[in-house]
Amino acid sequence: MTLADIIKAIILGIVEGVTEFLPVSSTAHLLLGGRLLGFENEGKVFEVVIQLGAILALLSVYAARLWHLLITLPSSRETQRFALGVIVAFLPAGIVGATFHDYITGVRFESLALISLAMILGGFVLLWLDRMPLTPRHTDVMAFPLRLCLGIGLFQTLSLVPGVSRAGATIVGALLLGTDKRSAAEYSFYLAMPTLAGAFVYDLYKNGASLDGGAVAIIAIGFVVAFLSAFVVVKTLLDFVSRFGFAPFAYWRLIVGGLGLIAAFTVAA
């Protein structure tokens, strides 16, 4: 392990932690960042494990709320309905993702041009939505009806297209189906918990054999940095969205997608 390896792990850990819960596609940023840094990663285990750091950051921030949900689950109809709604929202992407995992993973890490185009398209969609005069009908995530949860879950399946962004797909779906911006972002957090945890377990099962002792230190560094940076994002995102909307993320997607296209065609040339 060299100093250059440590610096690369820190940079990519920050990239993962900052982008995992933003509507900007962490996959696109990790792929582009890894290529620019010349980061070699057998079996994609680095990406799989540092994602766990981001998941644990989310669970840490929401620990008190999750504990409240757990202790009220046996007696509270509101909590039971909310938990069922999250399960219903998770199932579409969980089923499709497990069924087409190998194909999705292959395309996700190989087609930089496709990912960049999806980034650009998603940027325009976020800009369009941010400027639409939407009238929210649902503002409390605890009271989302099951049909709304299912609709958001179906939108989440779009994130299986490389570069779309899981957070972006769920937020866009929630807004189109009648939520306000803050509750759309908050529900994206709750839905991320089973979705990312399931993806982590499945990816580790598929790629765990690629993990070797020499890579453990680099992965550990990326894991810790991803945890810390994701913790900051989760703590601040809802207030940021309430104040600025999603336009800043849209412009960022356009910039990164454009740079990705340039990189794709430069490599091809």
Domain coordinates of the chain in residue numbers?
3-268
Contact between 26 and 48 under an 8 Å Cβ cutoff? The reply is no
- Tell me, what's the pLDDT at 142? 94
Q: In the predicted model, what is the mean pLDDT of residues 96-119? A: 74
- Tell me, what's the pLDDT at 33? 83
Does residue 110 register a pLDDT over 70?
no
Query: pTM for the complete prediction?
Result: 0.88
Summarised one tens digit per residue, pLDDT across range 226-258 is 999 999 999 999 899 988 889 999 999 999 999
Contact between 181 and 23 under an 8 Å Cβ cutoff? The reply is no
- Tell me, what's the pLDDT at 153? 95
- Tell me, what's the pLDDT at 214? 56
Q: What token pair was written down for 221?
A: 């560094």
Predicted confidence band of residue 209 (pLDDT cuts 50, 70, 90): low
Contact between 173 and 151 under an 8 Å Cβ cutoff? The reply is yes
Show the DSSP H helices in 132-246 as ranges: 146-156, 166-176, 181-207, 216-244
Classify 138 as helix, strand or coil.
Answer: strand
Predicted confidence band of residue 107 (pLDDT cuts 50, 70, 90): low
Q: In the predicted model, what is the mean pLDDT of residues 221-225? A: 92
- DSSP letter at 145 equals -
In percent, how much of the chain has pLDDT > 90? 54
Predicted confidence band of residue 267 (pLDDT cuts 50, 70, 90): low
Predicted confidence band of residue 163 (pLDDT cuts 50, 70, 90): confident
- Tell me, what's the pLDDT at 184? 93
Summarised one tens digit per residue, pLDDT across range 3-57 is 888 898 899 999 999 999 999 988 888 888 887 887 766 546 777 778 889 999 9
**What is the sign of the dihedral through the CA atoms of 81, 83, 86 and 91?**
negative
